[in-house]
């Protein structure tokens, strides 16, 4: 079973998300806070980063990683993102790779992300969300 996640409202109007293992992130609307929609983009970029880490470190050495940028096309009428663009950039200038080596690394990163990125897999298919509301009184 996946880790249980819950959110709680703060007095300042922000929210905190918690996980059973002690993980935590603050979010909301306002300066310095990611909105929930932006957290979807963070999740996609983060998943790509973790999925590509082994391929990048194998080629460039421990501690190296990709910079991943995610942008989304937002439709205000449906209040939803209609698509996402993910760009993976790897600075390998210090490694002095050949064109062939760079192409192989690019292909390997792509394979790793396509195989292991749960967030990408979820967003690419229609995923039902079931919910209920309980009012304690």
Supply the CATH number for residue 59's domain.
Answer: 3.30.300.20
Assess whether 24 and 44 both reside in one domain.
no
The model's confidence at residue 126, banded by pLDDT at 50, 70 and 90, is: confident
Assess whether 6 and 18 both reside in one domain.
yes
User: Of all helices (H) and strands (E), which one includes residue 107?
Assistant: helix 99-116
Assess whether 60 and 112 both reside in one domain.
yes
pLDDT at 89 over 90: yes
Assess whether 28 and 78 both reside in one domain.
no
In this prediction the pTM is 0.91
* Domain limits for position 117: 36-124
Assess whether 55 and 89 both reside in one domain.
yes
- Per-residue exposure over 23-61, b if at least 16 CB sit within 10 Å of its own CB, e if not: eeeebbeeeeeeeeeeebbbbbbebbbbbbbebbeebbe
Residue 91: inside a domain, yes or no?
Answer: yes
Residue 137: inside a domain, yes or no?
Answer: no
Assess whether 10 and 46 both reside in one domain.
no
Distance CA 25, CA 17 (A): 5
Assess whether 22 and 56 both reside in one domain.
no
Q: What is the pLDDT of residues 13-44, one digit of tens each?
A: 999 999 999 999 999 999 999 999 999 999 99
The model's confidence at residue 120, banded by pLDDT at 50, 70 and 90, is: very high
Q: Identify the bridge partners of residue 70 per DSSP, sorted by sequence position.
A: 86
Those residues with Cβ within 8 angstroms of residue 34's Cβ, 6 or more apart along the chain or in another chain: 25, 27, 42
Residue 27: inside a domain, yes or no?
Answer: yes
**Is residue 48 a contact partner of residue 89, using CB atoms and an 8 Å limit?**
no
Assess whether 24 and 52 both reside in one domain.
no
Residue 87: inside a domain, yes or no?
Answer: yes
For the chain, how many structural domains are there in total? Answer: 2
Assess whether 29 and 40 both reside in one domain.
no
């Amino acid at each position: 079973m996946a880790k249980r996640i819950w959110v709680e409202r703060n007095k300042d109007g922000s929210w905190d998300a918690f996980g059973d293992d002690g993980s935590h992130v603050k979010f909301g609307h306002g300066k310095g806070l990611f909105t929930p929609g932006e957290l979807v983009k963070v999740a996609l970029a983060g998943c790509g980063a973790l999925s590509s880490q082994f391929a990048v470190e194998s080629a460039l050495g421990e501690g190296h990683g990709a910079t991943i940028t995610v942008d989304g096309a937002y439709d205000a009428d449906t209040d939803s993102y209609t698509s996402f663009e993910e760009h993976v950039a790897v600075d390998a200038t210090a490694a002095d790779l050949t064109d062939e080596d760079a192409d192989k690394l690019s292909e390997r990163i792509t394979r790793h992300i396509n195989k292991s990125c749960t967030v990408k897999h979820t967003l690419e298919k229609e995923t039902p969300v079931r919910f209920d509301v309980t009012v304690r009184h």
